[in-house]
Copies of this chain bind each other. A is one copy, B any other.
Amino acid sequence: MNTKRYDIGRQNLDKIDGACGEKVIKSLEDISPDLGKYIIEFAFGDIYSRKGLSLQEREMITITSLLTAGGCESQLEVHINGALNVKISPAKIVETFLQCIPYTGFPKVLNAINVAKKVFHERKLVIENSNF
């Protein structure tokens, strides 16, 4: 095993996704521990540790990509939590989703907003996000 990539990835996963990320890796242990290893080594080790973008920017890109892909509600839940963990405000998360409307249409944005609503509620967050 490539200890260094794994260790860096593990630290990034803990910092960004916290308990949610840990839960995903745990859930893979009895079916595909290697999948968990690749998520840690490649996604969080190789990619998230790159220079050139802040963690806030990386999470903004991630939730945009998951919204656009569709059908990734559980990963979106992990990464909306991740976005909050790296100090993106709830209002900015919602604003990120609204920016997608012209490119994805309303249904995918509604799906993402519903996941955000659930996460904000669980974390007892209140948002002020009307521009009007």
Contact = CB atoms under 8 A, between A and B. Distances in A.
Contacts of A91: 52
**Top-4 shortest CB links A-B:** A43-B102, A71-B71, A52-B95, A68-B68
A8 interface: no
A42 B52 contact: no
A104 to B, nearest CB: 5
Main secondary structure of the interface of A (DSSP, over half): helix
Copy count, this protein chain: 6
Interface in A84-121: 91-92, 94-111, 113-114, 116-117, 120
A112 B132 CA distance: 34
A71 B104 contact: no
Interface residues of A, number: 69
A83 to B, nearest CB: 13
A60 B60 CA distance: 9
Contacts of A50: 34, 95, 98-99, 131
